[in-house]
Structure 1
């Protein structure tokens, strides 16, 4: 080949290489642009009004809040995506006298970067998420019964090796409570103001002079297929307790419109060097707890009932269920054997079958309780009604019961996405006031 031909060939190769590099750069730029511009935005607007009515001349409480969140999600680029979510709650000047501080604290607003994470995902195979995020596990969850949920700062991973089977792992370093605007190394056993955190609604038994929490390490697995719904978890709530939890439920699909189900759960905890040692245990009053030297808790429960379908526009799907839980008394243990739950105590968002809207055995200490609950969709699923009765027999506080009613309306047409919900619970026993009525009215619009 002559020099002229070699030069011509080299020029052509260089030109093609240049075109290839330019095309690759353009493609990368387009991919990066699509990663952002092809993303989605969703959110929620929520208005909440609380009323607490007490007996025996106690001061009644009320509170209002308007807020919600907006989340921006990028598209996936080689499996990577990102999410940023802003959360806010505002009293609009309505809470000037005797506010219910569990709704949004004593301030006039809460503003938080509730979610801000980077995620890698191969759908139905693996998910790894790092940053501020919502977590949904039995003993660490969003507790979303106020205006903004609890969120967590850390790493969460999920692997799905087989259809219906998932394996989980997470390390949480800090969290943001429902009444906080930032992330802190505390939990619901710390007092309001620890490290500046305006946290309300918990148990508040750890002195502010104690050390900060090191968060949570957890591993779990779940399986859901062929009518089986089961999970098992290990949690290390550093400085508080180690927990092993499991539950399983089987639903018999009969094809007749009536499907019976049966389930069970167990919870075991231990920790000799807990920050709760020599402190009052979880409970709504000091009498509910005992000073102890180490966490030692055993709890179990069973549930049974039927899922059914009324088969008409008037009467749709529903459920009837009865459940039982017991927390065994352990003399000398923290709380006499009470369950230690750093991220649900006082929130009543634990996984026990018999927990009511405002409290359960986690809040009231060792003992046993039973609960019956009816859930019913009707009028073409435009309405959802729930009613429940729970009764508790406690180791130190004696007898208590809760009566619950819940009605939600889901408008159709151009108002689709809106829900109007009214929840009422009347609690008796284990209260210095004799009774306690809690009414929550919530309007929510999802977009």
Structure 2
């Protein structure tokens, strides 16, 4: 609230100052009858204020029950409006803010607190008998998720305040009603036409189903739209279930290079008391006689290690990926991507009351034995080998921790799909993904069809093969021109996930989105 008041006071002050300058300029300018002056006066003044926004309505359904799964099916419907405004204060400075409000149309879910700290306190969804899909979410929201001061000039840029921020491992994740946002500052500098630098520090985070910023993450807090501490049984948490572990956000640095056919970026993340992550990506477009097919090759690689208090346990991750693509026709593109994350293992003595089963899962008293093990373990549960009489256990781990994209399926891996990926499952293993992209000549219809195959785990503890098929289709009801789109659009995303020998799909997911942009 104090930030909102300060933002309002600053905006009012700038408006008064601008008005005073404008008034003074008008009084000091003598009246003239010159033709040139008359022509100048007839020009339409340029407004310093601009605005945009959208109204977005979503309907989600999840089929969780099938031949081998007995979980409840889920559904949710919600509609929200986003209003964004910017004021050009002159001298390269801009003030901006974005307000978002949503109200569900399918039940009496009016407060996010109804879902915290226990899902058992949730309000009654509609239709009855179908569990709520909290990822939408299906409760009322009201938030000023952007309120910032921005400067741009002389190759230098800076944004301070609440803002939408985008980078590979911390981004807007805008696949629901509103994007995620961050509180802090971001600075960029363009060294020359090829090289650029960026640095940022963010202390708080607002998830895509939240109406406030807090000093936690998707891996250390309780979020209704992510299987974090409230429901995930394998995240180490010395504070106990539903007790968040606060941290101070993250720092970020980037060095980027861009040329005609090559782009490359090196990133460094410091997730406070969780991990440090180094990430590299590059893309090269092949020139020559094949250029008309727009062929390219892209690579990515990274390393991550726990740091500070290691809030979620020991992390030792390393992985790489490669992707290739080309245009099959004027309207159709094709890509194939691959990721590999090798497994790590340690020999440990398990805590009292915890043991490794013959099925390579940790068992013991409490909600989950894994929450007492100070390691980031894979979500599939297969993570140990008992060494028998030796009294020790070999733990397998090695997946990446992604505090600001976990469960959102918005990490940078080439093989991440609409509903899952190796990073979301915090697993080691490998995956491959094929994708076809279609874009109509008039740009009003485009679709993405993809198929991904994953082999999580290692031979010592067992493999968990899964596959996912997704279809993502857009249709714009109005003409698509250069610049921001204005008008109606309809989007539908369908995905289904199966195991290697499963009959029916274990999971079906459909998202219908109707939106008006202005």
**Is TM (by shorter chain) over 0.5?**
yes
Match of residue 227, structure 1, among 261, 286, 305: 261
| Distance of aligned partners of 1:47 and 1:25 in 2 relative to their CA distance in 1, 3 Å threshold | closer
Aligned to 2:148: 117
For the 8 Å contact 2:220–2:311, the answer to whether it is kept is no
Provide the rounded CA distance (Å) in 1 between the counterparts of 2:27 and 2:322.
56
| Distance of aligned partners of 1:163 and 1:76 in 2 relative to their CA distance in 1, 3 Å threshold | farther
Greater CA drift, 344-353 or 95-104: 95-104
Match of residue 186, structure 2, among 153, 156, 165: 156
Aligned to 1:92: 105
Provide the rounded CA distance (Å) in 2 between the counterparts of 1:166 and 1:117.
23
Q: List gaps (5 residues or longer) in structure 1.
A: 1-21, 193-197, 278-293, 311-315
For the 8 Å contact 1:118–1:131, the answer to whether it is kept is yes
Aligned to 2:215: 185
Provide the rounded CA distance (Å) in 2 between the counterparts of 1:214 and 1:28.
50
Aligned to 2:158: 128
| Distance of aligned partners of 1:75 and 1:398 in 2 relative to their CA distance in 1, 3 Å threshold | same
| Distance of aligned partners of 1:221 and 1:309 in 2 relative to their CA distance in 1, 3 Å threshold | farther
Task: Quote how far apart the aligned CAs of 1:25 are.
Answer: 8.0
Aligned to 1:39: 49
Show CA shifts across 1:41-60 (max 9, x none).
11111111101012134311
**1:423 and 2:479 aligned:** no
Provide the rounded CA distance (Å) in 2 between the counterparts of 1:226 and 1:442.
37
Aligned to 2:310: 274
Provide the rounded CA distance (Å) in 1 between the counterparts of 2:27 and 2:99.
28
Provide the rounded CA distance (Å) in 1 between the counterparts of 2:27 and 2:336.
58
Aligned to 1:217: 251
Show CA shifts across 1:248-284 (max 9, x none).
011124576311100110010012541112xxxxxxx
Provide the rounded CA distance (Å) in 2 between the counterparts of 1:399 and 1:346.
19
SS at match of 2:132: coil
Provide the rounded CA distance (Å) in 1 between the counterparts of 2:146 and 2:340.
36
Counterparts of residues 134-153 of structure 1 (less than 5 Å): 134-153=164-183
Provide the rounded CA distance (Å) in 1 between the counterparts of 2:94 and 2:246.
32
**1:307 and 2:342 aligned:** no
**1:387 and 2:471 aligned:** no
| Distance of aligned partners of 1:63 and 1:210 in 2 relative to their CA distance in 1, 3 Å threshold | closer
Aligned to 2:465: 399
For the 8 Å contact 2:221–2:244, the answer to whether it is kept is no
Aligned to 2:15: none
For the 8 Å contact 1:257–1:309, the answer to whether it is kept is no
Aligned to 1:334: 376
Aligned to 2:6: none
SS at match of 2:424: helix
Aligned to 2:63: 53
* Number of residue pairs the alignment of both structures matches: 393
